[in-house]
C-alpha cells in the first residue's frame, strides 16, 4: 500500500475539516468582534439559526443564492441591533438576553417555517438555492494540495480572507482602535469623547452579520435546506473557538481549524464502526478539553512571571 493511495482519503479528511470549520470560523469572528468591544454575544446561536432560515426563504422566493446570502446577513445584523437595543435601552442583562434570543430564534424559526410551508421539521418544500463551490482553474491541477485549495464552497474562501481582514481592521483602523479601547476601558474611552454605545452597536451588528454568513452557509452550502435547530450548538462552539484563539482573529482561525479537524477525524473513525452517537458527542467534548488546556496554559504563564 503506497502513500499515494492514501492521498484521496487524506484530502477527503482535510476537505471535511474545512467544511466543518467554515461556519465556526465565521461565527467565531463575530464572537471576536463583540467580545473585544466588551459585549459577549451569547445570541450567536440564535442569530445563526435565524439567518439560516432567512437564507433559505429569500433564495427560494427570489431565485438567487446571492440574495439569500444577503438576506441572511441582514437578518443577523438586525438581530445584533435588537440585542444591543435590549441591553442599552431597556437595561436587560447581556447574557440572559443572549439566551432569550436563542430561545426566541429556536421557537420563532419553527413558527415561520410552519407558516410558510405548513411543516415544522424541514423546509424541503421550498426550492432554496445553493451557494456554489468554486473551482480555480490552474490551482486545481497542483498535486496534493490542488484538490484541497480548489473546489471549496465560496463561503470557505470568504472565511479564509475574513481572518486577515478582521485582524487588520482591529489593528490598523480607527474603528478597531476605538473598539479595543471601548472593550478594555469603556469609562476612559467615553471620557475621550468616543461614543461607546455606538461602537458596541456596530460590534453587535457586525457580529450578527458574521453569524448571518455562517447561518447562510449551514442552510445553503453545507446542505440545501433548513431544519429545526439545525445550528446544533455551533454558535457556542464558535464562542469556545474565540476563547481558545486568545481573542485574536488568527487565533480564532486556528482554533476553528482544530475543532473542524477533530470532528472530521471523528467522522472518519465512524466509518470503522464506532457508534454514531458518540461521534456526534465529539464536537462538543473537544472544545471543552481544548478550553481547559488553554486555560491551564495561560494560568501557568501568568504564574511564572
Partner 1 sequence: MSTEALVQFLDVQKIYPNGTAALAGVSFSIRAGEIHAICGENGAGKSTLMKILFGLEQPSAGVLRIGGKEASLRSTRDAAMAGIGMVHQHFSLVPSLTVAENISLGFEPTVGGVFFNRRAAHAFAEDLSVRYRLQIDPRATAASLSIAMKQKAEILKALARNVRLLILDEPTAVLTPAEAGELFDHLRQLKAAGVTILFISHKLKEVRAIADHITVLRAGKVSGSAPLCSLADAEVTRLAMGKLVPSVSRHADRAIGAAALQVEAVSRAARRSASRITDITLAVAQGEIVGVAGVDGAGQEGLVEVLTGDAVPDKGRVLLGGEQIGGLPKARLRALGVSHLPADRYKTGGASALSLTENAMALARRSPRLSIGQYLKSKACEVLAREMIEAYDVRCTSPRQPLGSLSGGNAQKLIAAREFSVKPRLLIAEEPTRGIDVLAASTIHGRMVDLARSGTAVLLFTSDLDELLTLSDRIVVMHDGRIVAQFISSPDLTTEEIGRAMLGLETSHA
Partner 2 sequence: MRKALYKRGARLCLILLVIAVVLWPVVASLDDPRGAFFTFVLGPFNDMRHFGNVLEATTPLLFTGLAVVIMFKAGAFNLGAEGAFFLGGVVATAVLLKLPLAGPLLPVVAIVAGGVIGASVCVVPAWLKASVGASELVCSLMLNYAALFIGLYIVNYHLRDPNAGAMLSYRIPLDGKLPRILAGTRVHLGLVIGLLGCALGAVYLYKTRWGYESRLVGSNPLFARHVGVRTVLVGLIAPCVGGFIAAAGGAVEIEGMYSRFSWTDLPGLGWNGLVVAILANNNPAFVPVAAVFLAYLEVGGDLLAQNFAVPAEVVGVIKALIILFSTMSIAVGNPRIKQLLVRVMPGARKLNTEVEP
Q: Which one of partner 2, partner 1, none interacts with residue 270, CB within 5 to 8 A by kind?
A: none
Residue pair 244/287 in contact (Cβ under 8 Å)? The answer is yes
Shortest distance, CB of residue 158 to partner 2, whole angstroms? 25
- Does 197 participate in binding partner 1 (rule CB under 8 A)? no
- The residue among 59 and 97 lying less far from partner 2, judged by its C-beta, is 97
Give strand pairing partners of 122: 227
**CA 157 to chain CA centroid, nearest Å:** 14
Given candidates 108, 176, 232, 246, which one binds partner 1 under the rule CB under 8 A?
A: 176
Q: Which of residues 243-302 bind partner 1 (CB under 8 A)?
A: 302
Shortest distance, CB of residue 240 to partner 2, whole angstroms? 5
Residue pair 72/285 in contact (Cβ under 8 Å)? The answer is no
Cβ count near 303 (within 10 Å)? 7
Give strand pairing partners of 99: none
Written as nine digits, the cell of 228 is 429545526
- The residue among 4 and 301 lying less far from partner 2, judged by its C-beta, is 301
Cβ count near 38 (within 10 Å)? 20
Angle of CA points 153, 17, 293, to nearest 5°: 140
Q: Which one of partner 1, partner 2, none interacts with residue 243, CB within 5 to 8 A by kind?
A: partner 2
Residue pair 205/212 in contact (Cβ under 8 Å)? The answer is no
- Does 172 participate in binding partner 1 (rule CB under 8 A)? yes
Listed ranges 99-107, 156-164, 182-190, 239-247: which one lies at the site for partner 1 (CB under 8 A): 182-190
Q: What DSSP line would sit under 238-270, residue for residue?
A: HHHHHHHTTT-HHHHHHHHHHHHHHHHHHHHHH
The footprint of partner 2 (CB under 8 A) covers 86, 88-93, 95-97, 99-101, 103-104, 106-108, 110-111, 114, 120, 229, 232-233, 236-237, 239-240, 243, 275, 277-278, 280-281, 284-285, 287-288, 291-292, 294-296, 298-299
| Contacts with partner 1, residue ranges (CB under 8 A) | 172-178, 180-181, 184-185, 187-195, 302, 305
Amino acid at each position: 500500500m503506497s502513500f499515494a493511495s492514501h492521498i484521496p482519503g487524506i484530502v477527503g479528511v482535510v476537505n471535511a475539516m474545512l467544511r466543518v470549520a467554515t461556519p465556526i470560523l465565521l461565527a467565531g469572528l463575530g464572537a471576536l468582534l463583540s467580545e473585544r468591544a466588551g459585549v459577549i454575544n451569547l445570541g450567536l446561536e440564535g442569530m445563526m439559526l435565524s439567518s439560516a432560515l432567512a437564507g433559505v426563504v429569500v433564495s427560494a422566493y427570489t431565485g438567487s443564492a446571492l440574495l439569500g446570502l444577503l438576506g441572511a446577513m441582514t437578518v443577523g445584523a438586525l438581530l445584533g441591533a435588537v440585542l444591543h437595543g435590549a441591553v442599552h435601552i431597556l437595561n436587560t442583562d447581556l447574557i440572559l438576553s443572549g439566551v432569550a434570543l436563542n430561545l426566541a430564534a429556536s421557537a420563532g424559526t419553527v413558527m415561520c417555517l410552519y407558516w410558510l410551508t405548513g411543516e415544522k421539521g424541514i423546509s424541503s418544500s421550498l426550492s432554496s438555492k445553493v451557494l456554489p463551490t468554486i473551482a480555480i482553474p490552474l490551482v486545481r491541477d497542483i498535486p496534493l494540495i490542488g484538490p484541497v485549495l480548489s473546489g471549496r464552497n465560496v463561503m470557505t474562501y470568504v472565511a479564509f480572507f475574513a481572518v486577515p481582514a478582521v485582524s487588520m481592521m482591529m489593528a490598523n483602523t480607527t474603528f478597531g482602535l476605538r473598539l479595543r479601547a471601548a472593550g478594555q476601558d469603556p469609562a476612559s474611552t467615553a471620557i475621550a469623547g468616543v461614543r461607546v454605545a455606538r461602537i458596541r452597536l456596530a460590534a453587535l451588528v457586525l457580529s450578527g452579520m458574521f453569524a448571518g454568513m455562517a447561518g447562510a452557509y449551514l442552510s445553503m452550502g453545507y446542505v440545501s435546506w433548513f431544519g429545526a435547530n439545525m445550528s446544533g450548538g455551533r454558535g457556542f462552539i464558535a464562542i469556545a473557538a474565540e476563547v481558545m484563539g486568545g481573542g485574536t482573529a488568527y487565533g480564532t482561525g486556528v482554533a476553528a481549524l482544530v475543532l473542524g479537524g477533530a470532528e472530521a477525524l471523528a467522522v472518519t473513525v465512524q466509518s470503522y464502526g464506532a457508534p454514531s452517537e458518540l461521534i456526534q458527542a465529539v464536537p462538543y467534548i473537544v472544545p471543552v478539553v481544548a478550553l481547559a488546556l488553554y486555560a491551564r496554559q495561560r494560568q501557568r504563564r501568568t504564574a511564572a512571571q
